[in-house]
Amino acid sequence: MIFQAPILALLLVAGLASGVALWSAGFGWVVLRRWDIASGTGRQLGLERTTELVSTLFGLVMLAELAALLLFVYNADRMASLFVGAMCAVGTLNVNGWGFPALYLKIAVFFAAALWLMLDRADRLGRDYPLARVKYAGLVLIAPLVVADFGVELTYFLGLETDVITSCCSKLFTPVNDGLAAEMTGLAPGAALWLLAGGGAFVAVTGGLTLGTGRGHGWLALAGAAMFAVSLAAIVSVISLYVYDHPNHHCPFCLLQREHGYYGYALYLPLFAGTAFALGAGLTSAFHRVPSLAGALPAMTRRLVALALWGFALFGLATIWAIWSSQLILFG
């Protein structure tokens, strides 16, 4: 099982990312203790040269981690046919107790990697490594998450057994169960759509004010995070029903299958991207007053705001089209 090409690729990326993260974190501790940009000593010059290599390597593996989330979910859905009782990625992830923890860690690494890459980009806009300490403090914090992701993912793949009878999505996404999935499934469709509309309005207003005034980036980040949570609940509660043309099929993973036009990608890709850009705008805005970044960083943050709004707008359009083109009638 573990020798399938997608699994080997995922483990290679995760293992390489873990090794680079541990090495980079070790260098990060040195930066945090000894970095002094005002110093002209040989040690400081050596740190400045090495930081370019470390940042580049860590940035490359973080880019790979962004793509790994997509591959992980795609592979889980592709492997569903190998397990008795599995209809989609839910069944594959339920084969053992490590599947969903691996997915949650992948999502956490995705957002951590996206934020670090934006912070690294902001640091490179300055002439004097203005965010070196901040960037490497973030790297030190991310490293354990990357290592945990590799460990859990490896344990999950090593524990895959084809003779295990797993459960399908209809067993998990039903209001009669306990847990978060059941709570989202049991959310009334009308309430879910109102929450989604409210979340979208919150993002639009905060994003518009931020673009107009150059302030309020923290509010946009908060709005983006809230919109992400509300959107996931709405996908399970109501949007999936319209895509499936079925009033009781709530699975958010079957949306990624061919028979449903891979519609989930039209929902998830802009949603994840919009959320990451909104959080990144909030993060980079905290450093607008750094002298060497005062000229270039606000423009970068403004682009992040615009990209966040585009991401959420595309998600909104995909949601509207799913409802408009569906033959299912839930109201009226």
Q: How many CB atoms lie within 10 A of CB 213?
A: 8
For position 48, what pLDDT does the model report? 80
For position 270, what pLDDT does the model report? 97
Residue 83 near residue 162, CB atoms below 8 Å: yes
pLDDT at 319 over 90: yes
The overall average pLDDT reported for the chain is: 90
User: What's this model's pTM, rounded to 2 decimal places?
Assistant: 0.93
Quote the CA–CA distance of 288 and 213 in Å, as a whole number. 14
Note the helical H segments in the chain: 5-34, 42-78, 89-93, 99-124, 132-158, 169-172, 180-186, 189-213, 217-234, 240-244, 263-285, 297-325
Query: Once rounded to an integer, what is the mean pLDDT over residues 56-85?
Result: 90
Quote the CA–CA distance of 326 and 324 in Å, as a whole number. 6
- Which percentage of the chain shows pLDDT scores above 90? 66
pLDDT at 281 over 90: yes
The residue ranges of every structural domain in the chain are: 1-168, 173-332
Give the pLDDT band of residue 247 (cuts 50, 70, 90).
confident
For position 110, what pLDDT does the model report? 96
Query: Once rounded to an integer, what is the mean pLDDT over residues 113-133?
Result: 93
For position 217, what pLDDT does the model report? 95
Give the pLDDT band of residue 176 (cuts 50, 70, 90).
low
Return phi, psi of residue 130, to 5°: -65, -25
| Closest by Cα among 267, 259, 262, 255 to 311 | 267
Give the pLDDT band of residue 274 (cuts 50, 70, 90).
very high
